[in-house]
Amino acid sequence: MRTLIVEMIEPKRLGELVTVSREFCEQPDIVAVGTGQIPGSFAKAYQVEDTVAANLVSDLASLIVNEGYEVILLTASTLGSGIAAPLSVKLSAPVVSEVIRIQPDLVVERPLYGGKAVASYKLNKMPAILTIRRKYFEAADLQGFTDSSLLSITEKKVELIAEKEEKTEGIPLEDAEVIVSGGRGIGTAENFSILQDLADLLNGAVGASRGAVDEGWAQPTQQVGQTGKIVAPSVYFALGISGASQHLAGIANAKCVVAINKDEEANIFKRARFGIVSDYKKIVPVLIETLKEEA
Amino acid sequence: MHIVVLAKVVPDYEVPAGDFELTNSRAHARYKRMMGLYDENAIESGVQLKEKYSSSLTIVSYGIKGDIQILRKAVAMGGEKLSLVVGNSDDPHIIAANLKMAIDKLEDVDLVLAGQQSADMDRGIVHGMLAEMLGFTFIPQVAKIEQDGDQWKVIQNTESGSSELKCGGKAVLSITSVPENVPRIPVVRSIFAAKKKPVDTLSEIEGDAMLIDEVLVNIPKMESVCEFLPAEDDMAETAKILLSKLREERLI
Ligand SMILES: Cc1cc2nc3c(=O)[nH]c(=O)nc-3n(C[C@H](O)[C@H](O)[C@H](O)COP(=O)(O)OP(=O)(O)OC[C@H]3O[C@@H](n4cnc5c(N)ncnc54)[C@H](O)[C@@H]3O)c2cc1C
């Protein structure tokens, strides 16, 4: 099936979509968004520097119709969510967002009800648009680079004034093998610093629940969960996090969850391998001391 | 200026996974109904804009008549009226077409705000479809909105930080949650006043369904068994046990 990937030039995101594309075709085409070389080998590559979704929809729709693409793959991301739905109306095409599994015969799965249920859909009209949830498909190793031709933008609806990168100390959350996450139970922004101390000793990153982000104790870029980052670390420490299904949706692929919560009934213990029923303030400093002693 | 905020009433999204049940492939009817969490952020953002720019604010919803009672909360937060299209389709194209119909009826809408994702189907696509149907510009995951002459200046949250964007004309913005739009609890006076505010109920139009077949909805099993470590007295011992278990399994 003629498959088109539309994605930022970012090797891991591209790699995951290439893996998905193999369910539909041997080699996909790509519209690479942003600047720089396009990593990997694509049958045909187009490049567009404009990274604002609203500006891309019209020209993408024309390209899809002209080239007869049948499957359009995007990452479930700010860019993907800005393109997928308007494109679906332009093309009268079905769209399935946050896909986590592809079965044979064009059946795709996505979670709903905060991950408490999973629905499968049969794609029976092409083109179909899929946004793929991060970390559910192993990123393909992208070899070499592909030359591209320019995809020109005819309708600039939105102007990008500035971009701000949220600086994170150490390893990015998405790549961390150890994540120390805090929730509303952490109590204050200052208290988040001991999570950073623990993360540093374990060569990890600090995450947060939506509760903690809403309180302003952590950055939105640190939010883990279905509307935050999807992560897949070896160890995920959940401190003062109740374990709402929408939070758990972000850690479904974590190998081991360590939950520390004052409430023995907290839902997080149902997802945890190891649980400690305690105030996090009692155990975290001791963990830090023990790690320091061992170093 | 006339702002519309879309609000959807959903089954209790706080039901823990272990207690979750389906009937006819949807959340069991026994769960209490409540406003979508991100919709509350959208309403709060709309109310703040209304206060800043002296706009009017209408809440528009697609759902069942019984939802009116819950939608009054949205009105109490700062809306002037409620427009409900009565229908029970789950199809995003049909829902978007019906929301468009309700917005077209209002005639003078400049800005539509919606929560970035509903708290039941979790699709995050209806607002983008609606924008395209209305011919409005669509920007998702918006954290802050300002009027700048005849343009909108918005901050959009992204995976790595944020983007500052500007657009003219009419727009649909999906709203993310930030500390600044955590909803304020309406005062008692507003709750009473909301009971008297106008409610338009509209019959749904047919709309073209999205061509896709739902094959199955099921509840995945959660298989983790938690080993509780002692936490009564000797925390140093607990810390040692935990670290040695994580090392044993080569997790750290
Ligand atoms: C559509 C939708 C999308 C969502 N997306 C996300 C998402 O991406 N990520 C996300 O996290 N949430 C998300 N949510 C919100 C989610 O439903 C919860 O509201 C949120 O995860 C709660 O955050 P929390 O666990 O920090 O807070 P709470 O639920 O308030 O839990 C705080 C916990 O801290 C414990 N505690 C308190 N003090 C201490 C202490 N001193 N020591 C130890 N434990 C303590 C308490 O026992 C409690 O269990 C979403 C919701 C919806 C509807």
Domain A3-150 grouped into CATH 3.40.50.620 = yes
Cα distance between residue B194 and residue B59, in whole Å: 12
> pLDDT at position A169, please?
73
Helix boundaries (H) for chain A: 11-21, 53-67, 78-91, 192-201, 210-214, 245-248, 268-271, 280-294
Residue B57 burial by CB count (10 A; 0-12/13-18/19+): exposed, middle or buried?
buried
Ligand 1 binding pocket includes A12 (Cβ within 6 Å): no
Outline which parts of chain A fall under CATH 3.40.50.620. Answer: 3-150
CA geometry: angle at A69 spanning A67 and A70, to 5°? 155
ipTM over 0.90: yes
pLDDT tens-digit map of A89-144: 999 999 999 999 999 999 999 999 999 999 999 999 999 999 999 999 999 999 99
Contacts of A188 (CB under 8 A, 6+ apart): A217
Query: Is B211 within a domain?
Result: no
Q: Quick check: CB of A280 below 6 Å from ligand 1?
A: yes
d(CA B141, CA B123): 13
Mean pLDDT of B220-245: 91
Tokens coding A282: 């009692």
Comparing CA positions, the residue from B182, B68, B60 lying closest to residue B112 is B60
How many domains does chain B contain in total? 1
A280-294 helix and A192-201 helix, angle to the nearest 10 degrees: 30
Would residue B225 count as lying in a domain? no
The pLDDT of B40-47, averaged and rounded, is 98
Of A118, A271, A278, Cβ closest to residue B222: A271
Does position B137 have pLDDT exceeding 80, yes or no?
yes
pLDDT of residue B207: 86
Confidence of residue B1 (pLDDT cuts 50, 70, 90): very high
DSSP states of B21-77: -EETTEE-TTSPEEE-HHHHHHHHHHHHHHHHHT-EEEEEEEE-GGGHHHHHHHHHT
Q: Is A240 in the pocket of ligand 1 (CB under 6 A)?
A: yes
- As a whole number, the mean pLDDT across chain A is 97
For B166, the closest chain A residue by CA position comes to A159
Residue A47 has pLDDT above 90, yes or no: yes
Q: What is the predicted pLDDT for the residue at B222?
A: 78
CB atoms within 10 A of CB A12: 16
Residues of chain A with CATH 3.40.50.1220: 178-294
Instruction: Identify the architecture of domain A178-294 in CATH.
Output: 3-Layer(aba) Sandwich (3.40)
Residue B185 domain flag: yes
Q: Give A-chain residues touching B240 at CB under 8 angstroms.
A: 290
Residue A253 is given by DSSP the state T
* Option in B123, B132, B235 nearest A86 (CB): B132
Tell me the torsion sign for CA atoms A266, A268, A271, A277.
Answer: negative
First to last CA, chain B: 56
Give chain B's mean pLDDT: 96
CA separation for the pair B245, B90 (Å, rounded): 46
* Position B232 confidence tier, pLDDT thresholds 50, 70, 90: confident
Answer yes or no: is A226 a known binding residue: yes
Q: Is the pLDDT of residue B209 over 80?
A: yes
The separation between the first and the last C-alpha atoms of chain A, rounded to the nearest angstrom, is 54
In this prediction the pTM is 0.97
User: Residue B134 falls within a domain, yes or no?
Assistant: yes
Query: How many Å lie between the alpha carbon of A241 and the closest alpha carbon of chain B?
Result: 14
Decide if B118 contacts B105 (C-beta within 8 A). Answer: no
Position B161 in a domain: yes
Going through B123-230 in order, the beta strands assigned E by DSSP cover 137-148, 151-157, 161-168, 171-175, 199-203, 212-218, 227-228
Please give the share of chain B, as a percent, with pLDDT higher than 70.
Answer: 100
List the one residue out of B67, B91, B74, B97 whose CA is nearest residue B3: B74
**Domain assignment present for B44:** yes
Q: In this predicted model, what pLDDT tens digit does every residue of A232-289 receive, in sequence order?
A: 999 999 999 999 999 999 999 999 999 999 999 999 999 999 999 999 999 999 999 9
**Cα A132 to middle of ligand 1, angstroms:** 25
Mean pLDDT over B84-90 rounds to 97
| pLDDT for residue A168 is more than 90 | no
Which of B14, B225, B236 is facing A286, going by the closest CB pair?
B236
Q: What pLDDT was estimated at residue B74?
A: 92
| Interface contact B17-A248, CB threshold 8 A | yes
Distance from CA of B198 to the nearest CA of A (A): 31
Domain that holds residue B125: 2-203
Lowest-confidence segment of A167-176, B29-38, B196-205 by average pLDDT: A167-176
